[in-house]
Amino acid sequence: MPGDLELVSEWRHFGGWMRQYAHESAAVGGLKMTFNVYLPPQAETGPVPVIYYLAGLTCTGETGAQKGHFAKAAAQRGVAIVYPDTSPRGAGVAGEDDDWDFGTGAGFYVDATQQPWSKHYRMYTYVREELPALVTEHLPIRKGKAGIFGHSMGGHGALTLAMRNTDKYASVSAFAPICNPLEVPWGVKALKGYLGDDRATRAEYDATNLMVRMMAVPKSWYNFVDQGKADKFLDQQQLTPHVLQEACEKKGQSMQLRIHEGYDHSYYFVSSFGEEHINFHADAL
C-alpha cells in the first residue's frame, strides 16, 4: 500500500505547481526518497495524465525539473511530469560515493542482486511500482498508462522500463540514452557491479537486447530518440543509438532517431527539444 507524502516545498509555475515531496520508501529498504512533480493548471479540476522523467548520472529529481524546461509545454497540454531521484540516498554502502558513475546518483534504474547493493539499490521497482502507486493515490494524477522519458542513464532507464512493461507505458522517448549497456564501459561497470557476472540477468536491463528478444511490439507503442552529434560520449561509444535503431528495424519497430548537428550531452541540448518530447507523449496519452 502507498505510504504518506511529505510536502517539502512548492513553487507556482506556468499556472500550475512544481512541488517536491519526500516519503519513506519500502522499495529501497526504508530510506527516505524525494521526487519533484509538476502539476499543470488542469490538475486543479481533475486527474491528469502523467509522464515520468528519469535523469542521468550525478543528477537528482530536481535536475530535470530545473533544467529541462518541460513545464510550459506540460501546462499547455495538461500533463503532469514526475521527476524521481536517480538513486537511494544515505544507504551507507561502502564505496557508494567513490565514483561518479556508480553508487550515489548512479542507480541505473536496476534492482541490484549483489551484496551490499541489493538492500537499497532497487530503483527499477521504485520507479515501476512504488512511485506510481504513491502519486496516483495522493495527487491528481490519472491511473493507467503513462509516458516515460529520460536523459543518458535515464534514457536507458526509460527504454528498459518501457520495453519490459508495455502494459504500463503508452510511449517512451530519450535524450542521448545508453542503448546497449551490456557492451559499453558505463554499462559494463554498473550492471556487473549491481547484478554480477550472469549475462542473462544483466540483459534484462539492456534496451538493444530487449528489443531483439521482444516477442511482439505493440502497435500502439511509440519510440523516439534525440541525440546530439557533438556529444563526446557518442564519440566514446558509451551511447550507441544506431545499434538500438538496427535492432528496432529488424523487429519491425519504428524508432525515430534524430541526430542534431552541434548539440552535446548537456541540458542545453535537452531543453532545446523538450517541448517536442512533451507533445510526443501527450499525443500518445
At 221, phi and psi to the nearest 5? -95, 135
Grid cell 549497456 in the structure block, residue:
181
- Residue 152 annotated to the active site: yes
Pairing of strands 80-84, 31-39: antiparallel
Q: Which of 23, 25, 231, 277 is catalytic?
A: 231
253: helix, coil or strand?
coil
Evaluate the CA torsion angle 134, 140, 144, 146 in order and state its sign. negative
- Residue 265 annotated to the active site: yes
Q: How many residues belong to the chain?
A: 285
Q: Which of 285, 143, 142, 135 is nearest to 221 (CA)?
A: 285
195: helix, coil or strand?
helix
- Residue 23 annotated to the active site: no
Q: Which of 270, 77, 110, 131 is nearest to 190 (CA)?
A: 110
Q: Which of 210, 219, 267 is nearest to 55 (CA)?
A: 267
Whether the upstream peptide bond of residue 116 has omega within 30° of 0, thus cis, is: yes
Q: Which of 87, 152, 171, 173 is catalytic?
A: 152
248: helix, coil or strand?
helix
CA distance 240 to 248: 13
Q: Which of 23, 156, 265, 281 is catalytic?
A: 265
| Rounded-to-10 torsion of CA 34, 83, 159, 141 | 110
Q: How many CB atoms lie within 10 A of CB 159?
A: 30
12: helix, coil or strand?
strand
Which residues are known catalytic residues?
Answer: 152, 231, 265
